[in-house]
């Protein structure tokens, strides 16, 4: 939980830096190529990042007012936490000279989430493949065994993780990945 809270603070600091300082925004783009909603885990921050992109693409200055206006026009102001939250982001930036470090932490957080998603997908796919093989094996047993030998036969259950859903296995693996990256 501490890591998630720290990442939210980092996300807020990045958004504040971009909206307070044009040079910080240019540094972010120069260092990482772009700022995008998928860099942010917090839904409020993702919405704000989307607004920053839109405002920037329009050639308008990126600041609290233009970002809040854009969010309002796109019906996302409440999703982003409201105008007061957006203005309050400035308190999230303890020192604008550390903006590049916040940007790096943000990118690292995104990379960790990407790795976690890949791991989760891999675990789910592997478990489904095992379950499919068990269904095939059960079907072969039904086809090959005489009916009188099948009395009391129960379909093969998942012998690997009988009582743990794939999502829980994926979460346990992801927790291990996250701990290894900290």
Q: Which of 18, 1, 2 is nearest to 103 (CA)?
A: 18
The predicted pLDDT at position 2 comes to: 45
pLDDT for 38-69, tens place per residue?
888 899 999 999 998 899 888 888 899 999 99
Domain 2-108, CATH among 1.10.860.10, 1.10.300.10, 3.40.50.300, 3.30.930.10: 1.10.860.10
- The domain ranges of the chain are 2-108, 114-181
Query: How many CB atoms are located within 10 Å of the residue 36 CB?
Result: 14
pLDDT for 3-33, tens place per residue?
678 888 889 988 998 888 777 766 766 666 6
C-alpha separations of 124 from 95, 111, 130, 147, 159 in Å: 42, 20, 10, 34, 16
The predicted pLDDT at position 120 comes to: 86
pLDDT for 56-103, tens place per residue?
888 888 899 999 999 999 999 999 999 999 999 988 777 767 777 888
> Are the beta carbons of 76 and 51 closer than 8 angstroms?
yes
pTM of model > 0.75:
no
């Amino acid at each position: 939980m501490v890591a998630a809270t720290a990442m939210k603070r980092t996300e807020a600091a990045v958004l504040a830096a971009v909206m307070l300082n044009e040079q910080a925004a240019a540094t972010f783009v120069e260092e990482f190529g772009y700022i995008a909603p998928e860099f942010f885990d917090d839904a409020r921050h993702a919405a704000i990042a989307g607004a920053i992109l839109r405002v920037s693409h329009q050639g308008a200055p990126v600041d609290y007012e233009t970002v809040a206006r854009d969010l309002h026009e796109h019906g996302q102001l409440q999703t982003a936490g409201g105008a007061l939250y957006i203005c309050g982001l400035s308190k999230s930036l303890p020192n604008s000279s550390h903006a590049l470090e916040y940007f790096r932490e943000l990118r690292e957080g995104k990379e960790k989430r990407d790795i976690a998603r890949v791991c989760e997908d891999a675990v789910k796919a592997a478990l489904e493949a095992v379950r499919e093989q068990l269904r095939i094996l059960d079907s072969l047993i039904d086809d090959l065994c005489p009916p009188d030998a099948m009395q009391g036969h129960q379909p093969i259950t998942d012998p690997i993780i009988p009582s743990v859903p794939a999502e829980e296995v994926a979460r346990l693996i992801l927790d291990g990945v996250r701990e290894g990256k900290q």
